[in-house]
């Protein structure tokens, strides 16, 4: 379950990109909760640079995440390397970001726990 956003102008402005990523995380979490899920184990971010090179990075935690704050923190952690030489050695601007949660689970049915 995920969302993505293409920027009107490609950007390497950390505050702008991370702000949009947090907003996407909030949208994804809202859909996740509305669909009756209560936990996720994998967070994936996608970055498309100027020139249309697209890279995704994911992390599966040892346990489940359950809050929007946890999702936002993991999204920021995964995106940080795209602002420096770790994932963006040529300093290319970003044109699209995406946020996705995977390995979703629902709470147990009453009486089945």
pLDDT given at position 76:
98
Domains of the chain: 2-105 (3.30.1490.100)
pTM score, whole prediction: 0.93
pLDDT in tens, 80-107: 999 999 999 999 999 999 999 999 999 9
The two structure tokens encoding residue 110: 């009453």
pLDDT, residue 108, reads: 86
Name which of 23, 27, 6, 5 is nearest 15 in CA terms: 23
Q: How confident is the model at residue 110 (pLDDT cuts 50, 70, 90)?
A: confident
36-74: per-residue pLDDT in tens? Answer: 999 999 999 999 999 999 999 999 999 999 999 999 999
Residue 15 has which token pair?
């505050």
Looking at the chain, list the stretches that DSSP marks H as alpha helix, in order from N- to C-terminal side.
14-34, 68-79
pLDDT of residue 4 exceeding 60: yes
Question: With contact defined as beta carbons under 8 Å apart, do 46 and 55 qualify?
Answer: yes
Q: What is the pLDDT of residue 109?
A: 78
The two structure tokens encoding residue 82: 């795209």
Asked if the model's pLDDT at residue 113 lies above 60, the reply is no
The residue among 24, 25, 14 whose CA lies nearest residue 93 is 14
């Amino acid at each position: 379950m995920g969302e993505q956003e293409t920027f009107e102008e490609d950007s390497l402005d950390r505050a702008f990109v991370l702000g949009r990523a947090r907003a996407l995380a909030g949208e994804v979490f809202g859909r996740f909760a509305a669909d009756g899920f209560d936990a996720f184990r994998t967070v994936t971010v996608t970055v498309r640079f100027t020139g249309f090179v697209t890279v995704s990075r994911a992390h599966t935690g040892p346990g489940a995440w359950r809050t929007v704050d946890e999702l936002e923190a993991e999204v920021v952690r995964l995106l940080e390397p795209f602002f420096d030489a770790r994932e963006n050695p040529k300093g290319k601007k970003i044109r699209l970001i995406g946020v996705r949660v995977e390995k979703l689970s629902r709470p147990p049915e009453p009486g089945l726990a």
